[in-house]
Structure 1
Amino acid sequence: MSTQNRNRFGRRAFLAGSAALLGTPSIAQAIDGEGTTEVERDLSRVVKRNISSFRSLDWQPYFSNLRNGAILVDIDSRALHFWNEDGRYFLYPSSVPLTEDLTRRGRTRVIRKVEGPSWRPTPAMRKRNPEWPEFVGPGPDNPLGSHALYLSWTYYRIHGTHDTRKIGRRSSNGCIGLYNEHIAQLFGMAKIGTQVLLI
C-alpha cells in the first residue's frame, strides 16, 4: 500500500472513529449560604496539561443500590460518572479542585437543584481575594454556569461553567465543574437525594 493510500485510510479511520465517539451519549464531549460556592483560579496563566484520563467504572463497588441514581466523581481522572435508577450510565469530563487541601472526598447527596444559580464567594475566598465581588447573579459572568446541584456539604456544588477551558483541569476551590450542556443533562436526571461519592 502506498504512503498516500495509508494516510488516506488513516484519516478516514480517524474521522469515522471521531464521529462514532461524538455520537455516543454515554461519553461526554468537548441549605445554607444561598448561592455560595467556589470560583476557579485565573486561567490566563499557561497550563501545561489539560487531560482527563477516562475509565469506565461499575457502580457496584461504590454503591449498594441505585435508588435516586448515583454520582461518582473520580478526582484523579477528572471525570464524573452517573448511573440512573435503571442503571443507564453517563460519563462527563469535569474540573476538580486545584490542590489536595481544597479537595473533599467521601459521601454526600444532592439536597437542592437550581437552574440559573447565583453565586457568593465563601468567607475563606473573600479573605484570600477581597477584590472578588460579594455577589454575582445568574448569567454569563456567573462561575456556577447554567445549573447547580447543591450537596449536603456546605459550600460544595456540582455545577456548570461558562469558561470551558476549566474542564479537565485541576482548577477549582473545591467544587466539581461540568460543561453547561452536561450539567443541564445531569440536572434533568439527578434527583433530590441522589447519592454522591467523591473518590
Structure 2
Amino acid sequence: MRMTAGYGRRGLIMAGLTALIMALGACTQHAADEHVRGGVQASVHDLDRHITSYVSAPKPRRVVDFETREPPGSIVVSNSERALYLVLEEDKAYRYGVGVGRQGFSWTGRNRVSMKREWPDWRPPAAMRRRQPDLPVHMPGGPANPLGARALYIGSTLYRIHGSNEPHTIGQAVSSGCIRMTNADVRHLYDRVRVGARVVVRN
C-alpha cells in the first residue's frame, strides 16, 4: 500500500510538473507569437530608433529662398549642386545635400513619385549585377541595405531617392543614377512628400 501510495504521490507530482511545464510552454509560445506579431508591426520603429547612421549631411538641410514654377510639394534635384529641394510655399524650399549619379550614370528629366517604402528591400537590376557579379539578387531592408531607411520610387524607372548606409558619399557623384540622402534627411523628406508628387532632375 505504501508503495502504491508513494507511486501515487510521485504520479501526482509528475502530473503537476507536466501540467506546469505545459502551461509555461503554452504561455511562452503565446508570448513568442505575440512578440513575432508585434515585431513585424514594430520593426520600422525599432530600426528607426536603433539606426546608427543618422548623421548630418555635409550641408545640413535648411529652409532657403527658392524661386520655381513647380508647385509646393514638388522635388527638384540639381546634379551640379548635389542638392535636392522640396518646394514650399512663398518661394521657399527645404534644401538637402545629396549624392548623385557618377559620370555616365547621371540623368535629367521630369517624372513623379510612384511609390514610397520604409526600409525597402533591394533587388539590384540585372545590368548592375553584370557590372558587379558579387551583388546579391535580393537584400531585405535594414541598416546594411544600400537603400537605407526610406525610398521614394520615381515613375516606372529604376531610379529612386533613398537613404544610404554610406553617409560619407553625400555630396558626391557616386551612384548608378539614384539620388542618395542621409537616413535622417530621407526620413524628413519621406514624411513631407506624397505619392504623385513631381520630381524634376536637372543639371
TM-score by length of 2: 0.66
Counting aligned pairs with the same residue, the percent is: 35
Matching residue of 1:152: 155
Indicate yes or no: 2:189 matched with 1:181: no
Q: Which runs of 4+ in 1 moved over 3 A?
A: 84-88
Q: Among 102, 106, 114, which residue is 2:117 paired with?
A: 114
Contact 2:102–2:174 under 8 Å retained in 1? yes
Contact 2:113–2:153 under 8 Å retained in 1? yes
Indicate yes or no: 2:166 matched with 1:163: yes
Unpaired stretches in structure 2, ≥5 consecutive residues: 1-54
Contact 1:29–1:93 under 8 Å retained in 2? no
Contact 2:66–2:93 under 8 Å retained in 1? no
Indicate yes or no: 2:141 matched with 1:138: yes
Contact 2:66–2:91 under 8 Å retained in 1? no
- How far the C-alpha of 1:126 sits from its partner, in A, is 1.0
Contact 1:108–1:153 under 8 Å retained in 2? no
Paired AA for residue 98 in structure 2? S
* Separation in 1, partners of 2:65, 2:75: 11
Specify which structure has the higher proportion of helix: 2
Which structure 2 residues correspond to residues 95-114 of structure 1 after superposition, within 5 A? 95-99=99-103, 101-114=104-117
Paired AA for residue 85 in structure 2? H
Q: Among 74, 90, 94, which residue is 1:90 paired with?
A: 94
After superposition, give the CA deviation of every residue in 1:71-125 in whole Å (9 maximum; x if it has no partner).
Answer: 11000010001114676520000000111x2112010110101001000111110
Taking only aligned residues, the RMSD between alpha carbons, in angstroms, comes to 2.5
Larger Rg: 2
* Separation in 2, partners of 1:111, 1:148: 11
* Separation in 2, partners of 1:94, 1:124: 24
User: Structure 1 residues 198 and 89 mapped into 2: Cα distance closer, same or farther (>3 Å)?
Assistant: same
Indicate yes or no: 2:77 matched with 1:73: yes
* Separation in 1, partners of 2:109, 2:82: 16
Matching residue of 1:4: none
SS at structure 2 position matched to 1:184: helix
- The higher relative CO (CA closer than 8 Å, separation ≥ 6) is in 1
Matching residue of 1:191: 194
TM-score by length of 1: 0.67
Matching residue of 2:37: none
* Separation in 1, partners of 2:107, 2:199: 12
